[in-house]
Structure 1
Amino acid sequence: MEQEPVSVILEKVRDMIFAVPQWQINDHDLPNDDFVHLIQLTRGTKLAVTLLMVDEAPGLRYQLNHNQLLGTAWASLFDVIQAIPVRVGVPLSPADVKIPVGSELIYGNGQALIVRGDQQLGTITYHPEGFVWQVIWTLANGERRVDQYDDRGFLSTRTLYAPDNRIKQKEWLDITGQAVMRQTDQITITAGARSRFSQSAYATINDVIGEFLHKQLVAKTGPQQLIMAADRAFSPLVANIPPEVDVHCFVHKLTEANIAPFANTTQSWITDTDTQAEALRKRLRMLPEVKSTAVRVIPPYNTTLSLGRSNELAAVISYWHVNQLPKDDRQIVFNQFLKQLQVDPDKQLIVNADNQKQIDDFQQTALNFAAESQAVSLDSAVFQRIQALLRGDEPPLATPSATQAEITDADEQQAVAPVTEKRQAPGEKALIEQIRLFLTRITYQAQADYEQIVQNLSLARILVDLGSAPDLFMQLAAISAGIPQINRVPTGYVTRETGRIISDWRGLDSALTYYLDSLAHWNQALVANVQLIDRYSENHSLALWQEVLTDGGH
């Protein structure tokens, strides 16, 4: 392992702009994280930030790598607290874990069991990248101990759980495996580490973190900027931030518990929508002590000139992001789309559902709609056969007609079967084909990833998101693609020229018709979107951050 004195770990950061993320130790993918976007945006510029990890981060190196943040400057308070002198290392494999004498490893899917005879002693779990993450030991009386390993190849913490899952004791270890702190009813500092702490015992772990956060910030000379989230989880640390440090807070939850503790410390507030910014300003004006009411809207994603080619396609495709709509509401919306498809054979629909269960419901609704449109009763034998055939199942046998003579003799059945098939098959086959073709005009996805979304929006003529909190990545991707949007809740990213904000479901059909049935209206939205691309570009966001970090956003 590469050794480095603890005293210089935090001194080697490259600049005075610190970002304090809220990443949890089990977070692997961070697709919607403000701090990931901030790091990517400022990387290589004079605004480049240093990550200041105030929580435990045993998987930080792989977290950074997985989210394309490798090379980002970082500092960890727990590295200093636990006297960890290494920046890099090699994670452990199951064979590296010390197991009791006479026991062996049995490798399984995503884990390895530690067994002795017919007794299971513990379980080794893997990090998503494949190395040892935790070892869970089964103890007497229903207790268990969880050993947490760091991705640099050492044991970081030991936590003892009671049968009711309550933490009985937790130990934070140094690089040699010796305890530095021990938590029971309080945090106790061990004798060997006592000289590095101001107290021998602390009420909570936040008191320890606060002490070392203060040490970090007062140790640096010159102006410092601290970017964090206005969240109640961080509120115990606010008192430890020196007054000369400029604090800037991301805001997502407009509750007093999240805002009030930061009000007399925060120099500027960062939101991602105009609507939220206005609501935040109103709340700040109601608080008794506020250092600043400067609120800056900075988009969480950036636009690029990536105009789609939907106007080159014969198909007119709508992209619908279901976005947690209640069941009754999404059925109303889906039925309006189905009626649009029924009227115009060129129209198609892509549904981005929240889960597979929604897709199953939509598929059944679409089948019912298509069948009834062809005058097929849903309780008829014909519908049962159609449904079975479209699902790939064996269709049920047709029930003889009441006016048809009963055929009981095997020879009679064989004689009339070809005639019956010839008489019934052409009409029913044509009916099934019509229904099948209608259903193929609808594509379903469950929680599409970013690449799928961008690809689909390049083909779509319009984005529809009627959720209570429109997806901002999709909104900005739609601007990049140059297509109009229909929302129910305004965010500021959709203007009168680029889309529609509808107050209820009755406005959806007319809004769809306005953009899908007239290329002139669609072209007007395209021109307006192209003008917005510069407004939400990477360069513009960087300029906004420059203003925030220069004058607090005033």
Structure 2
Amino acid sequence: MTIHILTHWPIDDAETLSFDTSINETQLLLSQGHDISLIIQAYVPKLRALLHENDSARAHYWSAFDTIQQIKLTQPQPLSLSDFSWPPYAQFTYLRDRILIDVNDEHYATAWLTSPNLSELDYIDLFVNQELNQQIMIDDRGFISRINHYNSYQVKRTDFLTPSGQIAMQITYDNNQLQDIHTAQEWENQQHFSDLDTLLNIVTRQYLAHLSSEDTVIVTQSNHNDQLIPYLSQHNIIYTLHTVPDQLPDNVQQFITHDTNVYNTLDKSTNKRLTYIPLYATQFHLSQQAKFKTIYWLNEDLSFEEQELVLVQLMALAYQHLDLTVIIESPLPAKMITDMILHVNQQVSDDDSQRQDYLNRFLVLPKQRRTQRQHFMRSAYLLLDLGQTPNEFLQVTALDDHIPQIVRQTTPYLSPDKNGKVIDNLQDVSAAVTFYLDNMDNWQFATAQSDRISDIYNTTKLGQQWQTLLNTRHNEEHDAK
């Protein structure tokens, strides 16, 4: 029996809550020895690398875009600059995350490298008269997968290509609004579509029709996936809830959620079978005392005034603790954050002689992938996450690395005053951070509590909860027959 996971990933941004859900479900079920197949309706040209870096390479997958683009290739085969033809006398300048290509003293192209290792080509921007003309997306199986065509920096046309370079699907735009989708193949006697969801629904339905009725399908909550449930009437369906819906889908008897708020709300209001299993499993790491005092601050969901209030406190602490470094991850433009840091620094101190030294101890990062966050957290001393809803992946990473947490809301991964602190007022950030900076006993107590809580949510125990759920459903299906 195969367990299929019907995912719902945004087309061009895989790492979201729905991505985390399906990836973590995959990891836990693989740990129990199950045969897992992901049903992917998003365009993910680096899928093989994505699965590998998230310990899910053993999972099978079916891709709607692979079907549309007639892709049969399965093995990674990265391309390099030498695989492309360049004009004579092209000059290449190698930077950390990109390669600049100039021709006759004019900028001709920028080749961007993949994150997080920056070791392979991701995509190439081509310029004409210093203006973006095309963006070439490279599939990790060794071919050009998509080309965006621009006019005045607006996408006018997108070509999705077969491995041989033929156009399999073409999308045209007018003023950034989708006008038409044309496919080389017919799908239910159609080649023109007004929206991508309709096409993906048709392509996915055709795939679902060939699944064995003995298989289980885990459906990730989304309006798009809800439309596919009627085509799974012969299958055992487990529906994963992220939020409380207006109405639960029909023809589904087993629901699961990884959110305690969703569980507590629905458990009292529905007669459907609902199970809670935490989403993120902890991994055992050897405990090591952090060599440097580094705070990892996830700066999301705060107003400008709230960010400045937190920065004032952290900057003051940096003046008191000369070994303190602050890493700030923010979805906002880096210049906006660095300007705020400079402004706050001038408020905190009028000493120009050492100003740059203090500014250098505040490192600003753009939104990070899961593996990048894990990399930075390994050397961190403290996690600071002051959004209204803490990032549970970072909380589990903190448990893995025995790091105290400071958040604004209790979650299953934090016990107040044990492995961290819950603060109600942002003015209390300084006191909470100082509690761990100035007293090693407090820090060591929190790391010991992290070990204890980590054991509750380890991969084996959460995997066993999944196995119990699957066994119950299997026995019920067997008895019904």
Query: So what's the TM-score if we normalise by structure 2?
Result: 0.69
Which residue is equivalent to 1:53? Answer: 40
User: Aligned partners of 2:60, 2:347: CA distance in 1, in Å?
Assistant: 57
Q: Distance in 2 between matches of 1:318 and 1:472?
A: 20
- For structure 2, the 5+ residue unaligned runs are 173-178, 366-371, 477-481
What is aligned with 1:77? 64
Correspondence 1:457-496 to 2 at 5 A: 457=381, 463-480=383-400, 484-496=404-416
Q: Which residue of 443, 452, 455 maps to 1:534? A: 455
Residue of structure 2 in register with 1:501 after alignment: 422
Instruction: Name the amino acid aligned to 1:106.
Output: A
SS in 1 for 2:5: strand
Counterpart in the other structure of 1:165: 154
* Cα shift at 1:539: 1.0
**CA distance in structure 1 between the aligned counterparts of 2:100 and 2:288, rounded to whole angstroms:** 48
Structure 2 equivalent of residue 302 of structure 1 = 282
The answer to whether the Cα contact below 8 Å between 1:93 and 1:132 also exists between their aligned partners in 2 is no
Q: For residue 216 of structure 1, report the CA deviation from its aligned partner.
A: 1.9
- Equivalent residue, structure 2, for 1:37: 24
Aligned residues of 1:214 and 1:242 also touching (Cα < 8 A): no
Deviation of residue 50 (structure 1)? 1.8
Per the alignment, in what secondary structure is the counterpart of residue 378 of structure 2? Answer: helix
Using the TM superposition, give the Cα deviation of residue 298 of structure 1 relative to its aligned residue in structure 2, in angstroms: 1.6
Tell me by how many angstroms 1:497 deviates.
5.3
Q: Measure how far apart 1:341 and its partner are.
A: 8.7
Alignment-mate amino acid for residue 352 of structure 1? I
Q: Which of 302, 325, 328 matches 1:353?
A: 328
Closer, same or farther: CA 516–552 of 1 in aligned 2, 3 Å: farther
1:86 to 57, 64, 73: 73
> Conserved in 2, the CA contact under 8 Å of 1:235 and 1:261?
no
Identity among equivalent pairs (%): 18
Question: CA separation in 2, counterparts of 1:143 and 1:515?
Answer: 49
Aligned to 1:264: 250
Please report how far the alpha carbon of residue 61 of structure 1 lies from its aligned counterpart in structure 2 after TM superposition.
3.1
The equivalent residue for 1:374 is none
541 and 549 in structure 1: CA distance in 2 versus 1, 3 angstrom threshold: same
Offset of residue 516 of structure 1: 7.3
Contact 2:386 2:407 in 1 (8 A): yes
How many residue pairs were aligned?
Answer: 447
| Partner of residue 374, structure 2 | 450
Which residue matches 1:200?
190
Q: Higher strand proportion, which one?
A: 2
In the TM superposition, what are the counterparts of 1:207-218 in structure 2 within 5 Å? 207-218=198-209
Residue matched to 1:150? 139
Q: TM-score, normalised by structure 1?
A: 0.62
Match of 2:353 in 1: 389
Q: 1:79, 1:85 within 8 Å by CA — same for their partners in 2?
A: yes
For 1:523 and 1:251, how far apart are their aligned partners in 2? 37
Partner residue of 2:210?
219
Shift of 1:51: 2.4
Distance 1:22 1:268, change over 3 A: farther
Tell me, yes or no, if structure 1 residue 106 matches structure 2 residue 93.
no
Q: Given the superposition, is the C-alpha separation of residues 348 and 145 from structure 1 closer, same or farther in structure 2, using an over 3 Å criterion? A: closer
Aligned 1:420-431 pairs, distance under 5 A: none
Q: Which has the higher helix share?
A: 1
Query: AA paired with 1:51?
Result: L
Relative distance call for 1:522 and 1:146 in structure 2 (3 A) is: closer
Instruction: Determine if contact 1:214/1:240 at 8 Å carries over to the other structure.
Output: no
For residue 49 of structure 1, give the secondary structure of its aligned residue in structure 2: strand
SS in 2 for 1:468: coil
Structure 1 CA distance for aligned equivalents of residues 137 and 298 of structure 2: 39
Question: Alpha carbon RMSD of aligned pairs, Å?
Answer: 5.1
Task: Give the match for residue 412 of structure 1.
Answer: none
* Inter-CA distance 107–46: structure 2 relative to 1 (3 Å threshold): same
Residue equivalent to 2:466: 545
Tell me the secondary structure at the aligned position of residue 493 of structure 1: coil
In the other structure, the counterpart of 1:406 is: none
| Structure 1: gaps (5+ residues) | 1-13, 372-377, 379-386, 393-435
- CA contact under 8 A between 2:410 and 2:416: conserved in structure 1? no
